[in-house]
A and B are shown apart, each in its own frame.
Chain A
Amino acid sequence: MTIDFSRDKPIYSQLVDRICGDILKGKLELGDRLPSVREYAVETGVNVNTVQRVYKELEAMNITETKRGQGTFITTNEERIVLLREDMKNQLAENFLTSIEALGFSKEEMLVVLTKNRGVK
């Protein structure tokens, strides 16, 4: 599977988001081993140098840990993932607010639509 990347963001940061998303969705679990750099490069159709940068960023964010000779693993620190969840939530909300403000909608009227569309089960 090769990924279609969006135009305006560096590819490495799109891959960082993708892996974080997989963690939140539960596709990747705490302590899971990530594929090797080359495996992930071939899987996503991306330069090896780019994947190296992705893994470096994830490690700097404390989302992964590298164990010598064994590979890269998702952190087992649950608090870190809770924090990641909060960050992603805030980021989504921020993006949403920016786009409704750009079109001149108020928070209140959007809230009505939000509750109507998905609020009632």
Chain B
Amino acid sequence: MLQLSNVSFRYMKKPILQDVSFSIPVGKIIGLVGENGSGKSTLLKVLSGLLRPSNGEVLLNGTPVTRRSADQIAYLPDTDLFFDFYTGEQLFQHYASQFEDFSYDKACIVAEFLNVDKNMKLGQLSKGNRGRMKMAATLGREVPFYLMDEPFSGLDPIVREQLIKGLIQFTDIENQTILLSTHELYEVEPILDQIILLQNGSIIAHEEVETIRDVTNKDAVQWMKTYYKKG
């Protein structure tokens, strides 16, 4: 279980996260939503141990998260941090050299499922294909937690649908958990168990998707909007 208690994060005295507490059980797909600048990326970085909280603590199965926790957490960044001159193949080999849990074979299967050629250089791939390659490399890792920062952003609907199906196909929901931030809530909702809504660095709602539909008779997008009307 991944757990945050009273986590705050300040950047140059500016508060980005304020007193955030929640826990992520194993076996769920959770969507992290909120406006630009609401703190989603920072929250994912804190959870994955890339940033250290200014206050509070992040615990992974009871022990504090550090950069070393990367052996149990796969993090998919929203930016392209890979060398353009790498081919997909070299990217997978690089992952294999960094992560013991990385399965080269699985990454290749995911790449094939997503229809992307691993022999192309990353710099020569379209944005959609780089998104696919990033997903293949991330899902190539066998870890309990996947944290994904905007895996669908800027991609066309066909690529988004494929990535969503890839997520379902290649994760084992009994033993793995995915937390992903997204603005494409309408499309992503069908794969989510829970939604966390972030506003100005605080969690203003954390709910089961089924409960939202059952109790409020709204889909996730309409539900989210009611919070913004309240202001």
Docked complex Cα distance between A12 and B218 (Å) = 15
Task: Knowing A5-B190, A7-B222, A11-B190 are in contact, say whether A47-B168 is a contact too (CB < 8 A).
Answer: yes
User: Are A49 and B219 touching (Cβ within 8 A)?
Assistant: no
Task: Knowing A46-B190, A46-B191 are in contact, say whether A12-B169 is a contact too (CB < 8 A).
Answer: no
Interface string of A99-120 (1 = CB under 8 A from B): 0000000000000000000000
**Which residues of the partner chain B approach A12 to less than 8 Å between Cβ atoms?**
210
Chain A interfacial residues counted at CB < 8 A: 19
Docked complex Cα distance between A45 and B169 (Å) = 10
Task: Knowing A7-B222, A8-B218, A50-B190 are in contact, say whether A42-B169 is a contact too (CB < 8 A).
Answer: yes
User: Are A7 and B218 touching (Cβ within 8 A)?
Assistant: yes
User: Are B218 and A41 touching (Cβ within 8 A)?
Assistant: no
**Which residues of the partner chain B approach A5 to less than 8 Å between Cβ atoms?**
190, 219
User: Are B222 and A49 touching (Cβ within 8 A)?
Assistant: no
In the complex, whether B94 has a CB less than 8 A from a CB of chain A is: no
Docked complex Cα distance between A45 and B219 (Å) = 16
User: Are A48 and B173 touching (Cβ within 8 A)?
Assistant: yes
Docked complex Cα distance between A41 and B164 (Å) = 11
User: Are A8 and B29 touching (Cβ within 8 A)?
Assistant: no
**Which residues of the partner chain A approach B165 to less than 8 Å between Cβ atoms?**
2, 42, 45
**Which residues of the partner chain A approach B169 to less than 8 Å between Cβ atoms?**
38, 42
In the complex, whether B117 has a CB less than 8 A from a CB of chain A is: no
User: Are A8 and B190 touching (Cβ within 8 A)?
Assistant: no
**Which residues of the partner chain B approach A49 to less than 8 Å between Cβ atoms?**
27-29, 173, 193
Distance from A49 Cβ to chain B, minimum over Cβ atoms (Å): 6
In the complex, whether B217 has a CB less than 8 A from a CB of chain A is: yes
User: Are A9 and B161 touching (Cβ within 8 A)?
Assistant: no
Of the listed residues B168, B169, B214, B217, the one surrounded by the most CB atoms of chain A closer than 10 A to its CB is B168
In the complex, whether B213 has a CB less than 8 A from a CB of chain A is: yes
Chain A: which residue is nearest B214 at the CB level?
Answer: A10
Docked complex Cα distance between A51 and B191 (Å) = 10
Interface string of A50-85 (1 = CB under 8 A from B): 100000000000000000000000000000000000
In the complex, whether B114 has a CB less than 8 A from a CB of chain A is: no
**Which residues of the partner chain B approach A47 to less than 8 Å between Cβ atoms?**
29, 168, 173, 190-193
User: Are A45 and B164 touching (Cβ within 8 A)?
Assistant: yes
Q: Which of B189-226 contact A (CB under 8 A)?
A: 189-193, 209-210, 213-214, 217-219, 222
**Which residues of the partner chain B approach A9 to less than 8 Å between Cβ atoms?**
213
CB-based closest 3 A-B pairs: A7-B219, A10-B213, A48-B173
4 new A-B contacts at CB < 8 Å, known A11-B190, A45-B165, A47-B192? A2-B161, A2-B164, A42-B168, A47-B29
B residues adjacent to A (C-beta < 8 A):
27-29, 161, 164-165, 168-169, 173, 189-193, 209-210, 213-214, 217-219, 222
A-B contact pairs, 12 of them (CB 8 A): A3-B190, A5-B190, A7-B218, A11-B189, A12-B210, A41-B168, A44-B190, A46-B191, A47-B190, A47-B192, A48-B173, A50-B190
